[in-house]
């Protein structure tokens, strides 16, 4: 099956060709949304305003106003760069949650989103 885009991080895959590929639109959109959330503004060349920069909020105090800022930034970026995606809900968790695979110093975000043309909902969990 032909791919839509290259899967990141790059991994060698003899089945797809030289690199592994995203084969469905939801898979590609999930990858693009994750990169939008993790990219720090100014990090992407020729797009100085691209990205939420979730890592920038890692050592801030966990207060409701900070969470509101992050949600606002996520909505702003998704509306501008991915208008075919609707953010339904953003939930936060930190080291109080028991996450076996990660260190206790974690800022976690779960983003529930809908791909508007497909009318399908998904969840994306990001830990920094």
- What are the Cα distances from residue 5, in Å, to 58, 69, 84, 87? 30, 31, 17, 23
Q: Assess contact for 6 and 22: CB atoms under 8 A.
A: yes
**pTM assigned to the model:** 0.86
CATH of the domain at 91: 3.10.450.40
pLDDT value at 99 more than 80: no
Please give the residue range of the domain that contains residue 107: 5-127
Distance (Å, whole) CA 77 – CA 91: 17
Q: How many domains does the chain have?
A: 1
pLDDT grade, residue 106 (50/70/90)? Answer: confident
Chain segment 54-65, per-residue pLDDT in tens: 998 877 776 778
d(CA 116, CA 76): 17
């Amino acid at each position: 099956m032909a791919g839509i885009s290259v899967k990141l991080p790059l991994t060698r895959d003899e089945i797809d060709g030289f690199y592994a590929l995203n084969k469905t639109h939801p898979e590609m959109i999930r990858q693009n949304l994750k990169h939008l959330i993790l990219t720090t503004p100014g990090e992407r060349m020729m797009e100085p305003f691209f990205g939420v920069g979730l890592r920038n909020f890692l050592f801030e105090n966990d207060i409701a106003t900070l969470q509101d800022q992050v949600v606002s930034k996520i909505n702003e970026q998704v509306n501008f760069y991915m208008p075919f995606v609707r953010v339904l809900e953003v939930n936060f968790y930190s080291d109080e949650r028991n996450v076996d695979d990660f260190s206790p110093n974690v800022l976690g975000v779960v983003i529930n989103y809908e791909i508007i043309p497909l009318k399908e909902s998904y969840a994306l969990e990001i830990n920094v």
